Structure 1
Amino acid sequence: MIQNVEFRFEGGRAGVLLIHGLTGTPAEMRLVGKGLNRAGFDVYGMQLAGHCGDAEDLLATGWTDWYDSVKAAAERYAAGLDHLFVAGLSMGAVLALKLAADRPDLVKGVGVYGATFRYDGWATPWYGKLSFLLPLIDRLGIGRKRMVYENEPYGLRDERIRAQISSLMLGGDSAAAGLPGNPWPSLAEMYKMAAVVKRDLPKVTAPCLIAHATEDDIASVGNAHLVERSVSGPVEMLLLEDSYHMITIDRERRLLIDRSADFFGRIANTTADGARAAA
């Protein structure tokens, strides 16, 4: 059964919508959310459709359902704000970019954390690196019950945090730590979405903070450079050298929080100054 584990930290009139990754949970965005809230931002950690339950709950949804839940959350949340920012981890970063491409009127800035268009990190097994073939396999109706399981180091360089998260995940607490692997059909859906968003990246005109681990074990830094060279808006890069994929909870999370707060704050101040000048 799906558990609702969304969170909201109330703050000012500038808000950040946080989007977790595939098979993940809002918990992976919570520390960043707390940090941004301490910096004065309102924060909403949303929950993607089909997540925080079991594999069958996830398999009942596809990428358009995940994106629809992002759109609905953003539109609801923005109604009470002057400035809406969106930040996502892994597949959540891809969803954030899709929203920015579709709603340039709504999204004022994007935090692109460990963007995953392709699973090609150094710890991805050889068969995982062939997962771009899954949309074809899915069309053939093969492998609905199959799953690509997570491997050590589970996206975490910090061994203490890794032990905590892997214990929860392997113990079946999907609301706290996500599923222990990615069902083949869900991976196929992720790749279908990635293809759409790649084509849409030039439509992203909002400023982007692109943060990525240089030694990302799940999605290589090439994913970040794809975003950097494809979006139309201004870009700031933050390459993290002491983290793996889960940069929102790994060793350099405080640096990520500080840079994100500064990035979103500068945009909010510039926008407010422009509005005052126009008045």
Structure 2
Amino acid sequence: MKPLADKLDGVNEAPFPLKPAEFFYEGGPNAVLLTHGLTGTPNEMRLVARGLNRRGFTVYGVQLAGHCGDMDDLLATRWQDWAASVQTGAERLRQHCDRLFVGGLSMGALLALNLAADRPDLVDGVGVYGATFRYDGWSVPRIARLSGLLPLLKRFNIGRDRVFMEQPPYGIRDERLRAQISTAMQSGDSSIAGLPGNPWHSLAELYLLAKRVRGQLAQVSAPCLVAHASDDDIASVDNAEVVLRSVSGPTELLLLDNSYHMITIDREHRLLIDRSATFFDRIADTPRA
């Protein structure tokens, strides 16, 4: 597997300005906007992007506001800023495609659902990859599972400098890839593999976003491919169930049995690519209502 830092392989010039960590793969008339997770980078979506591009899609990997810098950069942003990054990316890409699909990993999946609820005119289908409404996986320390209290702490400016550090296995079942990611996170260059921990106040914003998205899932009428690791170490399958039982549009479930949370780069990323491409192609071949 090529290093995740191999950023320029096959990247095309985009028809709009790109942030330093973003990528654009030119393909056919149907496009996919891919969104990374909290403290992550567009690189965690790059393998899926390449695979979808080989299947004929134009793909844009967006960089969320405040990400790919330091902790202060992230803490200066709120969930509304992250959602604005996704909406701006979708509006830009929509001008250059016939059908637009949005896919996201972890928090990125919530942002994709948020866009589908707020702007159904933009979104033809959603790839919900490892949706994370709660950190309730088996590797999450018990104290971190109480992070639903963090919005209250943030309101009183308590714990701004506190961080939940990432713990092995870092959402990755493949041991060789896990070692590579761990080294990258400790390198000090957050544009490669993201920050090594989650600031309390940023997690508070994630929980505010999760609360909002839960409340508007019934407004998601676009078809959703809900993909989740059956043994997810970060976010249990209960998170996927929230989506399956709440959205109003048609759903399809893909359970991955040989991956952990980071399903876009773990052992079954090729299966995820294949099912996503097939799902999006099927929608694209169906006339709009």
Q: TM-score range by the shorter chain?
A: over 0.9
Could you tell me which of 16, 20, 24 is aligned with 2:36? 20
* Alpha-carbon shift at residue 106 of structure 1 (Å): 1.1
Moved over 3 A (4+): none
Give % identity.
68
Amino acid at match of 1:70: V
Query: How far apart in 1 are the matches of 2:240 and 2:189?
Result: 30
Query: What residue is the counterpart of 1:192 in the other structure?
Result: 208
Aligned with residue 65 of structure 2, among 49, 53, 75: 49
Aligned match of 2:135: 119
Deviation per residue, 1:142-177 (Å, 9 max, x gap): 000000010000000000000001100022221010
CA distance, structure 2, for counterparts of residue 231 and residue 170 of structure 1: 38
Q: For residue 149 of structure 1, what is the aligned residue in structure 2?
A: 165
Q: How many residues align?
A: 271
Counterpart residue identity of residue 36, structure 1: L
Shift of residue 103 of structure 1? 1.0
1:255 Cα offset (Å) = 0.2
Unaligned runs of 5+ in 2: 1-18
**Could you tell me which amino acid in structure 2 is paired with residue 72 of structure 1?**
T
* Equivalent residues in 2 for 1:183-262, closer than 5 Å: 183-262=199-278
TM-score by length of 1: 0.96
More helix by share: 1
Structure 1 unmatched ranges of 5 or more = none
Q: Over residues 74-105 of structure 1, what are the superposed CA-to-partner deviations in whole Å (9 max), with x where a residue is unaligned?
A: 10110111000000000000000000001111
Secondary structure (helix, strand or coil) at the match of 1:8 reads strand
Distance 1:130 1:4 in 2: 35
Match of 2:4 in 1: none
What is the TM-score when the length of structure 2 is the normalising length? 0.93
Deviations 1:195-253 (A, max 9, x none): 00100000000000000001100001100000000000000000000000000000000
- In the other structure, the counterpart of 1:265 is 281
Question: What is the aligned-residue RMSD (CA, Å)?
Answer: 0.9
How much does 1:29 deviate?
A: 0.1
Tell me, in whole angstroms, the C-alpha distance in 2 between the residues paired with 1:43 and 1:72: 15
Q: Does 1:97 align with 2:113?
A: yes
